[in-house]
Structure 1
Amino acid sequence: MAATATAPSRVETPTRMALKRFMKSTSGKIGLALATFLVLLALLAPVIRPYNPATDRDFLNIKKPPSTERFFGTDNLGRDVFTRVIHGSRISLQVGLVAVGLSLSIGTLLGLVAGYFRGNLEVFIGWITDILLAFPSTLLAIAIVAVLGSNLTNAMIAVSVTQIPVYIRLARSVVLSVRELEFIQAANALGAPSHRILLRHLLPNALPPVIVQATLSIGTATLETAALGFLGLGAQPPAPEWGAMLSDAFRQGHWLDAPWMMIFPGFFILLTVLAFNLLGDGLRDALDPRANK
């Protein structure tokens, strides 16, 4: 009797399984769509509406309400709010990505070192973490910018510093949970150098929760940058930064007679935070090895 040939089963790699779990997450797909929209808007802003803050003023059309010609209306200097909002997305996403990248790199490295080597080094890093966490993040960012000076670069540095303790604790907790496992003990027994164990064995285990936290931190960084801009400690006029736009409208009382000057920048801050929070939720479901397949 002839044997019947069976088609080989398709191998489910961890990446493929994570992608399948992500595609089952409604919040993740919505967050990805919103984040993609914001990124494309930031990249294409010079093409959609070229903007020159030194010349794009129209004093004959001050505080005009939204219309088919000017979608978001104009501000107190006759500048098109829609143009400023979409160019403001470039600033906010730049700050979010750079600040999160710095904090992720520094915090993850310190967390790996503290969790692996332990001893006095762990105690010292723990002290630094506790000191940074003792202050509310926005208050700490304000203090750093007050010392360094009010500009966008210093705002990015301040926001990144406030995020570092989160990654230190996250990476350290992962290292403490896996450093005594067999594959780490085998690497030590074979004489593998410490940097190889950190980078080749411990770091890959720390990456999934760190990636999820980084996605969530982009929304937090955007919100803190807007707060610094609102207080006049972030991007300086005439830069079209969302927090600074809110501050201009609020301080001069234009939120009463021209509310669109605050509504649209505030809405995009909300949209950015919502997008990356939803995306982070979807990634958490996808990268969690305990999730249902």
Structure 2
Amino acid sequence: MKKKEKSAGRDSFGRNTLQKFARHKVAMISAWFLITEILLIIVLPTAMNLDPYTTHAGNFTARPSAEFLLGTDDVGRDVFARLVYGGRVSLSVGFVSALLSALIGIPLGLLAGYYGGAVRMIIMRVVDVFMSFPAMVIQLVLVTVLGPSASSVMLVIGLLGWTSFARLTYSKVISVKEQEFVEAARACGATSGRQMFQYILPNSLAPLFVQFSFSVASAILQESGLSFLGLGVPVPAASWGNMIYAAQNLSTLVYRPWMWVPAGVILVLTVLSINFIGDGLRDALDPKMKV
């Protein structure tokens, strides 16, 4: 009977959350845009036989045409193909980096909030140390040491982005662990591990989902910044950041906008969509918001 009540409660919470998210029109439009974008990035390379690496002799900096939808770059590569493949790289960096940050920050924040004392002091002081350094400078140094590549960018952004997850988890755990259901579990002899992972963490996840969406958007922007500086995803691999890098050339910036404007536009739209989805999740997971 209790299992049925718990299941019904979870179903009701999930249904209410979906209903509240669906009422957030901008978030819904953003979600459909992001889903469509991901599907196109997966399907188009095979469906259209796109090749982002081949140089087409005699078609250097060609304008958009039926053959090359977004023209070609200064070495004759198809800009549309590079835009699609660049989306794979940029989105992968965003999601993998955010996931790595979450996997580091959430357990540390959970331990700091649950045990307090010396554990809290050590973990939160480490957080303060990481947050005291300028992130971009550290990223530039680490990527230079590791060598520019998609994997090194993912690793560096992920390792430096865990502090926001740790702080958020810590603050949420402090409030949740004093709730009556946790005290009841403690009184019944539940171990520390069971209290943390069965009772406290599941009830602390709502704001972490929102933080994850914002971290994905932030990681995409950071990768683009590093690639724009020439220390992100190296050419000939494509990413939206190193496509915008072409705009450093004044003649390209002014006379060949097809080489960088599409990447800039899709980058802005993608980051905005992810941020709007985060806003929608925040409102949907807020118990004070009415259905």
TM-score w.r.t. structure 1 length? Answer: 0.91
**8 A Cα contact 1:215 1:277, kept in partner:** yes
Q: Is residue 65 of structure 2 the alignment partner of residue 67 of structure 1?
A: yes
1:208-257 superposed Cα distances (whole Å, 9 cap, x missing partner): 11011111211111110111111121111100111111213424742222
Aligned to 2:18: 19
Aligned to 1:38: 37
Q: CA deviation at 1:124?
A: 0.9
Letter in 1 for 2:121: V
**8 A Cα contact 1:250 1:262, kept in partner:** no
Aligned to 1:199: 197
Cα distance between partner residues in 2 of 1:131 and 1:68: 54
Aligned to 1:3: none
**8 A Cα contact 1:45 1:87, kept in partner:** no
Letter in 1 for 2:13: P
Cα distance between partner residues in 2 of 1:37 and 1:263: 20
Moved more, 229-238 or 135-144: 135-144
Cα distance between partner residues in 2 of 1:80 and 1:52: 7
**8 A Cα contact 2:113 2:173, kept in partner:** yes
Letter in 1 for 2:256: A
Cα distance between partner residues in 2 of 1:146 and 1:116: 38
Cα distance between partner residues in 1 of 2:48 and 2:128: 46
Q: How does 1:106-185 map to 2 (within 5 A)?
A: 106-185=104-183
Cα distance between partner residues in 2 of 1:264 and 1:97: 22
Cα distance between partner residues in 1 of 2:85 and 2:98: 20
Q: From 215, 226, 229, give the equivalent of 1:228.
A: 226
SS at the partner of 1:13? helix
Gaps of 5+ in 2: 1-7
Q: CA deviation at 1:140?
A: 2.8
Q: From 268, 271, 277, give the equivalent of 2:269.
A: 271
Seq. identity, %: 37
Aligned to 1:4: none
Cα distance between partner residues in 2 of 1:159 and 1:176: 27
Cα distance between partner residues in 2 of 1:52 and 1:65: 18
Q: How does 1:236-251 map to 2 (within 5 A)?
A: 236-251=234-249
Q: CA deviation at 1:133?
A: 1.3
Count of residue pairs the alignment pairs up:
283
Q: CA deviation at 1:186?
A: 1.4
Cα distance between partner residues in 2 of 1:216 and 1:233: 23
Cα distance between partner residues in 2 of 1:136 and 1:251: 28
**8 A Cα contact 2:51 2:78, kept in partner:** no
Cα distance between partner residues in 2 of 1:20 and 1:59: 54
Q: CA deviation at 1:51?
A: 4.0
Cα distance between partner residues in 2 of 1:197 and 1:134: 33
Aligned to 1:94: 92
Cα distance between partner residues in 2 of 1:263 and 1:132: 35
**8 A Cα contact 1:242 1:266, kept in partner:** yes
Aligned to 2:4: none
Quote the RMSD (CA, aligned, Å): 1.8
Letter in 1 for 2:166: I
**8 A Cα contact 2:95 2:216, kept in partner:** yes
Q: How does 1:49-60 map to 2 (within 5 A)?
A: 49-54=48-53, 56-60=54-58
Q: CA deviation at 1:146?
A: 2.4
Aligned to 1:211: 209
Cα distance between partner residues in 1 of 2:260 and 2:51: 21
Gaps of 5+ in 1: 1-9
TM-score w.r.t. structure 2 length? Answer: 0.92
